[in-house]
Each structure stands twice: as structure tokens, then as C-alpha cells.
Amino acid sequence: MGHPQARAARQPNHWRKIWIGSAGNMVEWFDWFVYASFATYFASSFFPDGNDTAKLMNTAGIFAVGFFMRPVGGWLLGRVGDRRGRKAALTLTVTLMSASAILIALAPTYATAGYGGVAVLLIARLLQGLSVGGEYAASATYLTEASAPGRRGFASSFQYVSMTAGQIAGLGLLILLQHTLSSDELHSWGWRIPFAVGALGAAVIFYLRRNMLETEVYEDAENAEDAHGGSGAERGERGTIRALLRHKREALLVVALTMGGTVAYYTYTTYLTKYLSNTAGLPKQTATLVSFFALLVFAALQPLAGALSDRIGRRPLLITFAVGSTFLTVPIMALLKHAGSFWPALGLSLLALLVVTGYTSINACVKAELFPTGVRALGVALPYALANALFGGTAEYVALWFKNSGMESGFSWYVAGCAAVSLVVYLTMRETRDIDLTRVGGGQERSGTADGAGTGGSSARDGVPAS
């Protein structure tokens, strides 16, 4: 396992690893976001004539089901990632997403099959939830483990580059179709186009991932078990809830550090367009363009911030995000309400996303760095999916609840409060930049942050100096 020539022979270019590890993430999130973006066009196809708001609510209900399936997907696919390898988990996630996109693209309408179309839509959304629930952890783990020593922050930042690129692609396709098809055509059949595109993209990614190499960290862990005569019982522990419970502190840490970040991310990405349109009074086309250009800059910021974290550590960026989000959310949202035109809205949106970058650029590697190899995928997947379902998935609903209650500013305080909770966690957690990803088995597996995560105790094996 340690022979230099053998290691070099199985080590592809790091850029290729980043590309394959993150490209599928883009397709996954494209499919995830286009459901919400095109819901207003296909809602009438699956429900009987009547109240348009009721149709949208029914469609939104099916959308919400996907969020609640994400913890299940995190558990199932995190288990696959730890027991069968990162490659196996990544291939399975894109297979599920491809199947869900095909189902939506071909789903029969209410006029053709009654509520049978709704059933197909529901099944597809369940598959999407399973897929996205596992994709985050699988790609976070793969990008972190596959990166060069001392470059984990930079490499893992491409997870949010690809996530944001998927959202940008969805918005771009929506803008294109709005300008090339009539409203009747979009409502009749045009809404199927993005799902067909997503299915085709998933097929390409499936081919790429079938030919990707497993990470060296995971292979070395398997080789270490073989060399030390690892028993079947020990192998059976990998990726299990029992193994994860040995790292309860780290699992709770993932939930807490995710809380503020995921609420802020969904506020300034998926909810921003609706806020600019419904509250700030900008035309829908202007609001969409603000989101589109803000996300372009946001995606470009991720690698820069990730590389910075490789030099100064993860905690400074996380703390900067939490302080900024805690104290700037309320004034930014208040100013956005009175932005009035494209440029002020874009400037304020970029300021908000610059703050959020402190979290999004490095959260993937921070979570992966908390866990040993045998439970890393599950350790990232399940706690993150639970936090995302509770806080990220509900962000828009909480915002609309405050608005309907006549207390819209209350949502800004809610976002700031979630960031404040995460700030306490960031201030008390230890640095993770120099943690040794190759620690495997027994007491080393149990060490985690309890033994001084980030103190660099065994980081020499990674070739990364202790901080």
C-alpha cells in the first residue's frame, strides 16, 4: 500500500479527481432545483382544474417530501460509501437521480392517468431525496480524500461551485425557455425539457463515475485492515449507526455547524428571488437576473476562500461567516426590501453571499475531517441531512410564515439567531485543517476531536505540518 511507484500508478491528476467528483454534483442539484423553478408550469398538469394556489401547494408538498427523504438517503448511501467505497456511493446517487428525472419527464398528466401522474411524481421526488441525501456526503468525502495534502479546502470548495452551477444552469434554462416558448407551450409540454436534460446529463456522469478511481485514503484503510487481519465483525462495523454513535460529539458538531450555514444559504439563493419579487417589488425578470449574476460571482468565490482556508485554517472563515451573518442579516434584508432596482439589489445580494462563502467554501471538508475513514461518509451524511431537512428545507416556509403573519422582519432575526448558535460552535471547536485523514481502526478511530482534532498530532502522515 505504501510503495511509491504503486501509489503513483493509481494517482490520477488532481484536477481530474475534482472534475469527476464535482460534475455529478452539478447535475444532481440541477435536477433538484429545476423542480422548484418549473413547478408553476407543471402543477396544472397533475391536479384537476380548480384553485391554482391549491395546485402549487400540492406540488410544494411533494417537493417537501424530498427534503424529508434526505436523512434516509444520507443513512443508506453513507453506509454504502463506507462499506463499498466512495466510487460505489457516487455511482449509485447519480443512478437514482437519473431515474427520477426520467420519471418526471415522462410522467402522465391528470387528463391521461388521473392521480397516477401524481404517484409517479411522488416516487420521483422520493428518489431525488434519497439521491441528494447521499450525494452531499459522497462528494464531500471523495473531494476531501482525493485532494492533494494541504489542498483539501480548495478541492472541496468545488462542491458548492458545482451545486451553484447546477442552480445557475437551471435558472439559465428557465430564462431561455421563457424567451423561446409561449406560456401555453411551457405549461403544456415545455416544462418536461429540463428534466430530459437532467436525465441526459446524469447518464454522462454515470459513465464518468463508473471509470473513476477509488480514493487512496479508502483503499489504504482496506489494505490496513487486510494487513492487520481485520475480522469480518470489524468490517461489518463500517458505515453503521453503531460505529457512528462512537462519534456522537462529532455528529452533533456537524448538526450545529450546519444549522446557521444552511439557513443562510437557502435564504440568499432559493428564497432570494421570491423575496426580491414579492417583498422588494422588483419585476420577476429583474429578480431572476439579480439571482443569476449573484450566483455567478458566488460560485467564483468558493475556490478562493477554500484555498485561503488551506493557509490560515478553517475556523477563521467559519467565524467570519457566523459573525457577519449574525450582525448583518437584519440590515441587509431591510435594505433589500427597499432596493428598488437591479444594481442596489445585486450589490446587497453579493454582500450577503460573500458572508455566506465563509461557510459554503469549506463546510464539506470540515465535516469530512471530523470522522475516521470507516465512518466518514455516514458521519457526514446523516447529521448533515438531518440539519438540512430541519433548517435548510424549512427556510422558505419559515420566511413565508413570518410574511403571512405580518412579521416579515422576524425571519431576518431567525436567520441571525441560527448563525449565532453556529458562532458559539465555531468559537469552541478545534481546528480541523491538519487532521490526519488516514487514521483507521480502534482507538485512532475513536480519537476524533476528543484527542485534539486539529492539533496535528498525527498529521505528519498526511505531509501537512501541525498548526
Of 433, 426, 422, the closest CA to residue 313 belongs to 433
Q: How confident is residue 463, by pLDDT bands cut at 50, 70 and 90?
A: very low
Residues 6+ apart with CB under 8 A from 148: 14, 155
Q: Is 80 part of any domain? A: yes
Q: Is 455 part of any domain? A: no
Task: Examine the pLDDT at 293 and tell me if it is beyond 90.
Answer: yes
Q: What is the reported pTM?
A: 0.83
C-alpha cell recorded at residue 462: 498526511
Of 268, 302, 264, the closest CA to residue 287 belongs to 268
Which structural domain range is residue 310 located in?
18-219+235-435
Q: Is 12 part of any domain? A: no
Task: Examine the pLDDT at 433 and tell me if it is beyond 60.
Answer: yes
pLDDT digits (tens, 9 = 90+) for 35-77: 878 887 888 888 887 666 666 667 767 777 787 888 999 999 9
C-alpha cell recorded at residue 375: 465512518
Tally the domains of the chain.
1
Q: Which residue type sits at 188?
A: S
Mean pLDDT rounded to a whole number for the chain: 85
Give the integer Cα–Cα distance in Å for 38 and 34: 6
Enumerate helices (H) and strands (E) in the chain, giving the number of each: 24, 0
CATH at residue 31: 1.20.1250.20
Q: Is 4 part of any domain? A: no
Residues 6+ apart with CB under 8 A from 207: none
Question: What's the pLDDT at 423?
Answer: 97
Q: Is 62 part of any domain? A: yes
Q: How confident is residue 436, by pLDDT bands cut at 50, 70 and 90?
A: confident
Question: What's the pLDDT at 401?
Answer: 84
Q: How many CB atoms lie within 10 A of CB 408?
A: 18
Query: Rounded to 5 degrees, what are φ and ψ at 465?
Result: -65, 145
Buried b / exposed e over 85-114, threshold 16 CB at 10 Å, is bbbbbbbbbbbbbbbbbbbbbebbbbeeee
Burial of 175 (0-12, 13-18, 19+ CB in 10 A): middle
Contact 256, 393 (CB under 8 A): no
Question: What's the pLDDT at 464?
Answer: 33
Question: What's the pLDDT at 270?
Answer: 79
C-alpha cell recorded at residue 359: 461557510
Q: Is 9 part of any domain? A: no
CA 125 to chain centre: 17
